[in-house]
């Protein structure tokens, strides 16, 4: 069972542990002839890289991606693309204390219960380091989208840190790259900086909400019933470490709306294509894209490795206390933004390929 794989036709298998020699992504099913610019791939990885500011873990990793197969003379060949990232900063001594103790809120205990193996060097496979491989695969997916469906834009940002949400009225896309939080609201960014400084100093952490939007996605991607676009997006986002909730369009708030309010009314655009009065649906109806923006949100729980003392037990069954020293993220949600973008790119490309396979150039026209 490819339990470490994601995608139907553009199939990504990530591998590697946080403190092993390397990690990476094996991508099977990438169309041939896609231009692969390693510098561009590296650019995506650099956005996720730890240690770039005081709000993310101070672990230093070059996160340099090496392409081992599937690319020849700068183009994909249609065979598997292997992308490897060597781990360089493997100071596992930082984790010595947790070889025996289980961190509350962490996968330590469940990995032990499942596998009977304790990779005490770090989170092992459950570490956020795994997401570097996703970003590499997502970068390849973006390159493939550029060839197959030029004009698709994928953009992620944070909308909430702890109790502090952005003000949608102050949304300014240009702000996103201007602060360490991918925050589209300058006021919120300032507030978050203060808030996170306090948390960081006290050795605590906090959760966050990320939103990812894909623009320019053609209508018709997705498929009933279990290969729905929203099903795959939900799986994609929920598979990211520490994510506890996923929303499409109105999300959980859909519960509060009446049918009258929720209906995105349909009109004819100047080009004869349908336009909608609103996007409560988040760009998906019946599991299939409408052509509107795809809008996905997900909540990331706070990092469980904190300096606060918590009660726990050891592998031997002894009650004890734990304080996790080391280099951790006060708000791991920050680094989840590029990961969410990568997952969006994977899902959109995958469904584009599925659509080509089953439908080809067909599909219904309006008018």
Of residues 43-72, which lie at the interface with its own copies (CB under 8 A)?
66, 68-70, 72
Considering only 26-34, 45-53, 90-98, 171-179, which stretch makes contact with its own copies by CB under 8 A? Answer: 26-34
CA–CA separation, 215 vs 300, rounded Å? 23
Q: Which is nearer to its own copies, 149 or 174 (CB)?
A: 149
Angle at 261 between CA 243 and CA 237, to 5 degrees: 15
CA distances from 283 to 154, 202, 229, 296 (A): 14, 41, 10, 9
Residue 264 CB, nearest approach to its own copies (Å): 6
Closest contact distance (angstroms) between CB of 94 and its own copies is 17
Residue ranges for the binding site for NADP(+)?
48, 54
Scanning 28-36, 48-56, 92-100, 178-186 for contacts with its own copies by CB under 8 A, the matching segment is: 28-36
Contact 28, 137 (CB under 8 A): no
Q: At what angle do helices 333-359 and 38-48 cross, to 10 degrees?
A: 140
Return the residue of 300, 334, 336, 348 that touches its own copies, per CB under 8 A. Answer: 300
Torsion angle (degrees, nearest 10) of CA 254, 258, 262, 263: 150
User: Which residue matches tokens 């973006």?
Assistant: 142
Of 36, 154, 231, 340, which lies in the binding site for its own copies, with binding defined by CB under 8 A? 231
Query: What angle, 0 to 180 degrees and rounded to 10, lies between the N-to-C axes of helices 38-48 and 130-148?
Result: 140
Residues within window 250-289 making contact with its own copies, judged by CB under 8 A: 250-268, 272, 274, 277, 280-282, 284-289
Site for its own copies, residues 303 to 362, rule: CB under 8 A: 303-306, 308, 310-313, 315-319, 333, 353-360, 362
Number of residues that bind its own copies (CB under 8 A): 167
Taking contact as CB under 8 A, which single stretch among the options 55-63, 74-82, 92-100, 170-178 is the one that binds its own copies? Answer: 74-82
- CA pair distance 307, 326, nearest whole angstrom: 9
Q: Is 289 helix (H, G, I), strand (E, B) or coil?
A: strand
Is 174 or 270 the residue whose CB approaches its own copies more closely? 270
Q: Select 174 or 295, whichever has its Cβ closest to its own copies.
A: 295
Q: Cβ 335 to its own copies, closest distance in Å? A: 15
Q: Does 28 bind its own copies (CB under 8 A)?
A: yes
> CB of residue 337 vs its own copies: minimum separation in angstroms?
13
Minimum CB distance to its own copies smaller for 176 or for 199:
199
* Interacting residues with its own copies between 107 and 166 (CB under 8 A): 107, 109-119, 121, 124-126, 130, 148, 160-163
Q: What are 321's two structure tokens? A: 């206390």
Q: Which two tokens stand for residue 362?
A: 């067909």
Surface-to-core class of residue 92, CB atoms within 10 Å of its CB (0-12 exposed, 13-18 middle, 19+ buried): middle
Token pair of 211 as six digits: 């939103």
């Amino acid at each position: 069972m490819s339990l470490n794989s994601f995608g139907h036709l553009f199939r990504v298998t990530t591998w590697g542990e946080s403190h092993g020699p390397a990690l990476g992504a094996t991508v099977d099913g990438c169309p041939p002839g896609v231009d692969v610019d390693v510098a561009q791939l590296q650019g995506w990885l650099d956005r996720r890289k730890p240690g770039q500011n005081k709000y993310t873990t101070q672990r230093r990793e070059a996160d340099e991606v090496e392409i081992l197969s599937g690319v020849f003379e700068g183009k994909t060949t249609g065979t598997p693309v292997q992308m490897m990232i060597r781990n360089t900063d493997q100071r596992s001594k930082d984790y010595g204390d947790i070889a025996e103790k289980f961190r509350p809120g962490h996968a330590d205990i469940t990995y032990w219960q499942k596998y009977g193996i304790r990779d005490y060097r770090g989170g092992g496979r459950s570490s956020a380091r795994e997401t570097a491989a996703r970003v590499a695969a997502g970068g390849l997916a973006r390159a493939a989208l550029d060839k197959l469906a030029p004009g698709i834009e994928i953009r992620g940002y944070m909308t909430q840190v702890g109790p502090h949400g952005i003000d949608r009225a102050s949304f300014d896309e240009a702000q996103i790259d201007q602060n360490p939080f991918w925050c589209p609201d300058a006021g919120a960014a300032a507030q978050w900086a203060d808030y996170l400084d306090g948390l960081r100093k006290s050795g605590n952490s906090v959760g966050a909400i990320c939103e990812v939007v894909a623009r320019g996605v053609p209508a018709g991607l997705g498929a009933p019933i279990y290969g729905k676009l929203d099903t795959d997006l939900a799986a994609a986002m929920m598979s990211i470490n520490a994510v506890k909730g996923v929303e499409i369009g109105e999300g959980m708030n859909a519960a509060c709306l009446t049918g009258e309010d929720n209906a995105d009314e349909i009109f004819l655009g100047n080009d004869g294509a349908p336009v909608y009065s609103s996007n409560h649906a988040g760009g998906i109806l019946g599991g299939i894209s409408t052509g509107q923006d795809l809008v996905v949100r997900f909540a990331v729980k706070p990092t469980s490795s904190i300096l606060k003392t918590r009660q726990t037990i050891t592998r031997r069954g002894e009650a004890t206390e734990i304080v996790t020293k080391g280099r951790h993220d006060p708000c791991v949600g920050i680094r989840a933004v590029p990961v969410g973008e990568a997952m969006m790119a994977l899902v959109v490309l995958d469904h584009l390929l599925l659509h080509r396979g089953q439908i080809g150039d067909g599909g219904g026209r309006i008018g």
